[in-house]
């Protein structure tokens, strides 16, 4: 009994303790709840209020005009033509019948263009038939689908609807009036629109147009689904340079990314070159249409917030030089053909500031079927065998590997055990040469001596020629020499991307490892790997500016839009010249090669005879090149040139490629004409 009493006493003593703990837990819970409520209402009140208000509205956006593209002198290359448009803005609550109703109303006020009508398909006609002949869609299903089919596709409405449309007899798709076709065309356009993504029904309207006025007067009839908008069409200068690019529908492989940035599916974007490269600058801030919602769906007319035009691009290009270059290329193609070069039908050239990498002009012309077409893009994407124009780089690579002889006698090289010879253009040889005169006279054999020293090839004098003792192509020293050459050329931008600010560019063709050792001699004179004209411009610029490989660029600066649409606004971004790398040569090495390039155009019997005879005033340093391109026809070659001027303070570098010629100096003539034109505008010879 005593034990039971003790137990009961302990239970009574524990009960108040448990109740106190329970009360404490409840108190703390309520205290936490009150604190949280206070935090939400006071600290975060404005934030959550904004979220609540946001849930009561939905927005659509209409693209504003793009930024302009101008050349270095502010000449407009790409602009906008302002126009008014009628747009449809779909929301998820619009039924097919409502959409048809809007299409009928809109057809009373405007006529869509012929290209819109052409898009009307059998599918559109079948759908129009169903929507106009049956008040309820269920009635159409009852007529054209059996009960079993309806049951089968009860949970697959899209398949059921597709089957329904297919059952509409073809006889019912005939005899539609012009008004019916207009309605179908508008309905077709409506069907292309995504939810709250404005879709243009008709553009090119003016404020005074009757169609525009009628739509404006009846906007309230469409419950916000039809709106007017200020839009623009992209316009370009006549014969615009390729690098400006063009506009077009968003590519399928990029649609997801663009949608994530707030673009509509039917928005035109930059799809090539600078229009594509600088889309983020050129795109304006869209106009915003904000709708109130009921039950999560937009209703009524929206509140409109105007957008702003995109930023303007100023390029490094001088359109005066660009036009002249196009003209000079055409003239010289015709001149070459008149001199018996019937296979020549194209020419390419690049002008570049060697100190900054700024592109001044890029040209390419092709003559086919009696007329010229612009192929300027080939100057950055297509590769050519460049021949002796690369010899400046060959010598500098040789200097890096202590492989350049101070003097060497030029005479033919005989590959032991074969009947093949390697020789310079003067069959009997060019005599004893230094690195400078080897460039002046364009010695093949001197370049062969450089790479022979690198590759372990012995050239043994024997009766007016050299006998070449060559290692196997698997010899480590030979393999290293090929790799050293390729790596060396890449220091100048040959065989690698130049880094130009365009979405795509070529890198030329890498010939890999030669099958026979003598090929290394061909490699040294530009007849193994291939390069683009742009790479050649970067290469000669690297020599001209003292050894810095500069990134070629077309963008000079980005500017805020000015209200007058003509002047440039505040600078948003200024392109800073970028050094991509430096070559591994001393100033002394560079000076020797630069002097050799000077002798090409100023020394007696230098291969730059056109400059020596006609262009001394323009102070050009250069290297000419001829690359044989057909083993069965050695008189057919690519005629090339790299150059810069003035040689004592370079301002401009020019590379030229004239494929498939047999005679003449079109490479030099093209460059000389462009130096004359550059001097006419920038007066460097008078300084």
Which residues participate in catalysis according to the annotation? 388
Q: At 302, phi and psi to the nearest 5?
A: -85, 165
Q: Is 303 left (phi over 0), alpha (psi -120 to 50) or beta?
A: beta
DSSP 188-257: HHHHTPPBT--EEEEEEE-TT-HHHHHHHHTGGGGTTSEEEEEEEEEEE-TT--GGG--EEEPPGGGHHH
Q: Distances from the Cα of 81 to the Cαs of 409, 474, 665, in angstroms?
A: 67, 64, 45
Using alpha carbons, select from 333, 320, 405 the residue that is nearest to residue 368: 333
Q: 197 near 88, Cβ under 8 Å? A: no
Peptide bond into 237 cis (omega under 30): no
The CA-atom distances, in angstroms, between 509 and each of 290, 470, 529, 634, 656 are 55, 25, 6, 21, 18
Q: Any idea what the Cα angle at residue 214 is, between residues 213 and 215, rounded to 5°?
A: 95
In DSSP notation, 370-408 reads TEEEE-TTHHHH--B--GGGGHHHHHHHHHHTT---S-E
Residues 636 and 662 sit within 8 Å (Cβ to Cβ) = yes
Q: Which residues pair with 226 in a beta bridge?
A: 88
Query: In the numeric block, which tokens belong to residue 432?
Result: 């004893």
How many whole angstroms separate alpha carbon 448 and alpha carbon 649? 31
Residue with tokens 């690049």: 350
Distances (CA, A) of 260 to 193, 263, 310: 17, 7, 19
The angle formed by the CA atoms of residues 56, 60 and 62, to the nearest 5 degrees, is 155
Output the CA–CA distances (angstroms, integers) from residue 386 to 270, 441, 628, in the order listed. 34, 17, 9
Which of 279-308 are b and which e, b meaning 16 or more Cβ less than 10 Å from the residue's Cβ?
Answer: bebbbbebbbbebeeeeeebeebbeeeebe
Q: Which of 578, 664, 591 is nearest to 624 (CA)?
A: 664
Q: Please tell me the distance from the alpha carbon of residue 114 to that of residue 504, in angstroms, as a whole number.
A: 36
Helices (H), 471-532: 476-491, 519-524
Cα 137 to Cα 145: distance, rounded to the nearest angstrom: 12
Q: What DSSP character marks residue 343?
A: T
Residue 372 and residue 387 in contact, taking contact as beta carbons nearer than 8 Å = no
């Amino acid at each position: 009994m005593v034990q039971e009493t003790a137990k009961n006493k302990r239970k009574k003593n524990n009960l108040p303790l448990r109740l106190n703990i329970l009360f404490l837990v409840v108190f703390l819970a309520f205290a936490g709840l009150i604190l949280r409520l206070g935090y939400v209402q006071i600290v975060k009140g404005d934030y959550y209020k904004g979220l609540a208000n946001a849930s009561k509205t939905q927005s659509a956006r209409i693209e504003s005009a793009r930024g302009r593209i101008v050349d270095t002198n502010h000449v407009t290359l790409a602009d906008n033509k302002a126009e008014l448009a009628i747009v449809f803005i779909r929301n998820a609550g619009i039924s097919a019948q409502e959409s048809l109703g809007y299409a009928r109303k809109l057809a009373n006020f405007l006529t869509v263009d012929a290209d819109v009508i052409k898009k009307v398909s059998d599918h559109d006609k079948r759908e129009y038939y169903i929507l106009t002949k049956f008040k309820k869609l269920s009635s159409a299903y009852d007529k054209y689908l059996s009960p079993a089919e309806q049951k089968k596709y009860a949970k697959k409405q899209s398949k059921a609807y597709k089957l329904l449309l297919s059952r509409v007899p073809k006889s019912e798709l005939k005899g539609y009036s012009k008004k019916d076709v207009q309605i179908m065309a508008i309905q077709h356009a409506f069907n292309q629109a995504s939810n709250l993504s404005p879709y243009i029904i008709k553009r090119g309207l003016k404020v005074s147009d009757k169609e525009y006025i009628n739509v404006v007067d009846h906007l309230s009839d469409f419950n916000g689904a039809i709106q007017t908008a200020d839009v623009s069409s992209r316009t370009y200068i006549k014969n615009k340079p390729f690098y400006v690019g063009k506009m077009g529908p968003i590519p399928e492989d990029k649609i997801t990314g663009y949608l994530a940035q707030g673009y509509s599916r039917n928005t035109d974007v930059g799809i090539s070159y600078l229009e594509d490269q600088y889309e983020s600058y050129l795109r304006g801030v869209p106009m915003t249409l904000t709708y109130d919602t009921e039950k999560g769906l937009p209703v009524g007319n929206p509140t409109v917030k105007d957008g702003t035009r995109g930023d303007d691009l100023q390029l490094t290009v001088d359109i005066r030089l660009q036009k002249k270059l196009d003209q000079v290329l055409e003239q010289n193609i015709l001149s070459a053909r008149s001199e018996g070069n019937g296979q020549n039908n194209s020419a390419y050239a690049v002008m570049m500031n060697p100190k900054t990498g700024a592109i001044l002009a890029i040209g390419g012309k092709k003559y086919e079927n009696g007329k010229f077409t612009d192929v300027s893009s080939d100057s950055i994407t297509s590769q050519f065998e460049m021949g002796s124009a690369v010899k400046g780089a060959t010598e500098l690579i040789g200097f890096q590997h202590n492989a350049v002889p101070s003097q060497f006698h030029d005479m033919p090289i005989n590959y032991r055990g074969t009947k093949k010879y390697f020789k310079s253009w003067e069959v009997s040889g060019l005599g004893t040469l230094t690195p400078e005169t080897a460039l002046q006279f364009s010695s093949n054999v001197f370049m062969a001596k450089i790479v022979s020293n690198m590759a372990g090839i012995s050239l043994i004098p024997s009766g007016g020629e050299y006998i070449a003792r060559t290692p196997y192509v698997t010899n480590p020293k030979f393999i290293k020499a090929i790799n050293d050459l390729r790596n060396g050329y890449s220091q100048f931008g040959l065989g690698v991307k130049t880094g130009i600010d365009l979405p795509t560019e070529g890198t030329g063709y890498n010939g890999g490892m030669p099958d026979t050792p003598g090929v290394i001699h061909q490699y040294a004179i530009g007849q193994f790997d291939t390069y683009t004209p742009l790479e050649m411009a970067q290469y000669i610029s690297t020599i001209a500016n003292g050894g810095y490989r500069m990134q070629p660029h077309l963008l000079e600066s980005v500017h805020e839009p000015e209200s007058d649409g003509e002047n440039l606004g505040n600078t948003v971004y200024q392109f800073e010249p970028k050094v991509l790398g430096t070559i591994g040569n001393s100033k002394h090495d560079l000076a020797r090669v630069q002097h050799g390039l000077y002798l090409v155009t100023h020394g007696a019997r230098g291969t730059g005879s056109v400059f020596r005879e006609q262009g001394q005033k323009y102070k050009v340093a250069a290297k000419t090149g001829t690359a044989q391109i057909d083993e069965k026809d050695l008189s057919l070659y690519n005629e090339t040139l790299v150059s810069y001027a003035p040689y004592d303070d370079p301002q401009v570098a020019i590379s030229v490629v004239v494929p498939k010629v047999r005679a003449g100096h079109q490479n030099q003539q093209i460059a000389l004409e462009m130096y004359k034109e550059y001097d006419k505008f920038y007066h460097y010879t008078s300084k």
